[in-house]
Structure 1
Amino acid sequence: MAAPAGRELRWDGCFNVRDLGGLPAAGDRTTVRGALVRADSLDRLTAAGWAAVADHGIRTVVDLRNAADHAPGRRRPDGIGLVRVPVDELAGNDRWWREWGHVEGTPLTFAAYLEHFPEVPAAIVSAVAAAPPGGVVVHCAAGRDRTGFASFVLLSLAGVSAADIAADYLLSGPNHRRAAAALGLADHTLEIAEIQARSGRTATRVIADTHAGFDPAAYLVRAGVPDATVAAARDRLFTTG
């Protein structure tokens, strides 16, 4: 499976980068290129990689990792800001791994975040809404799970279909395997497939089911995000200004 032309980005030092522009959304709109990018860790970016980030119009990095995971390499170019939204810390590390660690690596975690940790999507959406003009890149370590959840929330807010969100999510699998091979890391593909199989639902089905029960604007307001912030986050997917 390959990303539609122009969506897969080559940032030297990263392995799993996609522009979330070009997706059909509610109201006959289309998400715009350069507004929101999802990625794996930026810590390994070379000078050429950071130049590509800047050339793509990115002006804000939203890092979803815990503080203990940070291993910054080259300094970010001037004009690119950083916001940290430590998803696992917000979810309470010990509780998260104790109660939902058995489904880690799959979109089965999405419903757990939504049901038990509304502060997580609220913080993600607020960070994107508050970003200055320019593109936003959201990333974690592999760019699959925490970043996948952030992408799910933001694309759902824009009115992107469950089918398109799931198709985008699945693109991370081959990229994760490529990263593992290049970096000499463990490839958890088979383990994740077994977890998914035990659930009795495919990843696509899980995302469709979660999407069907998710009214993102109403959910976020209940989570304490002001209407104006929700609207601003939605609008970010349609403009880089």
Structure 2
Amino acid sequence: MTGGRELSWDGCVNVRDLGGLGRVRPRAVVRMEAPTRLSEVGWAAAWAHGVRTVIDLRDPDEREPERAPRPPGIATVYVPQDPVGTPFYEQWKEIDSLASPLYYPAMLVEHPEPVVTAVRAIANAAPGCVVFHCAGGKDRTGLLALVVLTLAGAAPDEIIADYLLTYDRMKRRYDELGFRDQLAAVTELLTARDTTFEASLTSTIAALKMPDFLLDNGLSDTELAALYARLTL
């Protein structure tokens, strides 16, 4: 259930506030798909929600022209998450195209830097709500949400339920693009490896020791304090 977390921003279908999960306060962080289709009305709704920073997790070659200009008071921070050109990236492109929770544990161990850089961007953002997104708001966005929510004490079932919402929210978009049903496709991939969404995500969350993961990978004590102050009730 999403309660009052669902946001209606014209042009986007996968927008939700993470407030209410664990100790996250409302209007601190929002996850969404790329705001490419967000209209002027949609951007006005984001501004009214308090959004002052947008963190883009996509690679540079994924960025597309947007339907409407962003309000001038919203800062954009680019923090690409895919470690393109590494053996890790080539390996996981073959396994799941970095489009399932299977790659999460290996990413956090082998390439924690992009994730921690994104967390740092949240901590250091100007006052106001922070939005983060990738393309569909599912995988890279899902991993960052998992890290943030684990830090904020969200229960595994809350994190998993939030992750799975994207499959329903984005189904219409994927149908428009002629893509296979993504929930069915990823379920099949996980089943072939004798796991499930729940088991895969639960094991990732259990192995993620907080705040040690962030501090051990470069987040400072000052940044951690700023992150807690931004996120938590």
Q: What is the TM-score with the length of structure 2 in the denominator?
A: 0.93
* SS at 1:215 equivalent: coil
CA offset digits 1:7-55 (Å, max 9, x no partner): 11111111211110012x3xxxx32111100000111111111111111
Q: Distance in 2 between matches of 1:187 and 1:80?
A: 35
Gaps of 5+ in 1: none
1:94 deviation in Å? Answer: 4.9
Contact 1:100 1:112 in 2 (8 A): no
Specify the alignment match of 1:12 in structure 2: 10
Specify the alignment match of 1:39 in structure 2: 32
Q: Which amino acid aligns with 2:6?
A: E
Q: Which amino acid aligns with 1:35?
A: A
CA offset digits 1:93-146 (Å, max 9, x no partner): 453442112133211121121110010221011100000100000000000000
Gaps of 5+ in 2: none
Equivalence map 1:48-63=2 (5 Å): 48-63=41-56
- For residue 99 of structure 2, the aligned residue among 95, 105, 112 is 105
Q: Which amino acid aligns with 1:208?
A: T
Equivalence map 1:39-188=2 (5 Å): 39-73=32-66, 74-88=68-82, 91-101=83-93, 102-103=95-96, 104-181=98-175, 183-188=176-181
CA RMSD of aligned residues (A): 1.5
1:213 deviation in Å? Answer: 1.2
Q: Distance in 2 between matches of 1:78 and 1:198?
A: 47
Q: Which amino acid aligns with 2:7?
A: L
Contact 1:64 1:84 in 2 (8 A): yes
Matched, 1:232 2:232: no
Equivalence map 1:189-200=2 (5 Å): 189=182, 190-200=184-194
Aligned length: 229
Contact 1:154 1:233 in 2 (8 A): no
Contact 1:38 1:143 in 2 (8 A): yes
Specify the alignment match of 1:22 in structure 2: 20
* SS at 2:5 equivalent: coil
* SS at 2:37 equivalent: coil
Contact 1:16 1:172 in 2 (8 A): yes
Matched, 1:222 2:219: no
- The structure-2 alpha-carbon separation of the partners of 1:238 and 1:83, relative to structure 1 and needing over 3 Å to count, comes to same
1:179 deviation in Å? Answer: 1.6
Contact 2:187 2:197 in 1 (8 A): no
Q: What is the TM-score with the length of structure 1 in the denominator?
A: 0.90
Q: Which amino acid aligns with 1:111?
A: P
Q: Which amino acid aligns with 1:198?
A: A
1:216 deviation in Å? Answer: 2.6
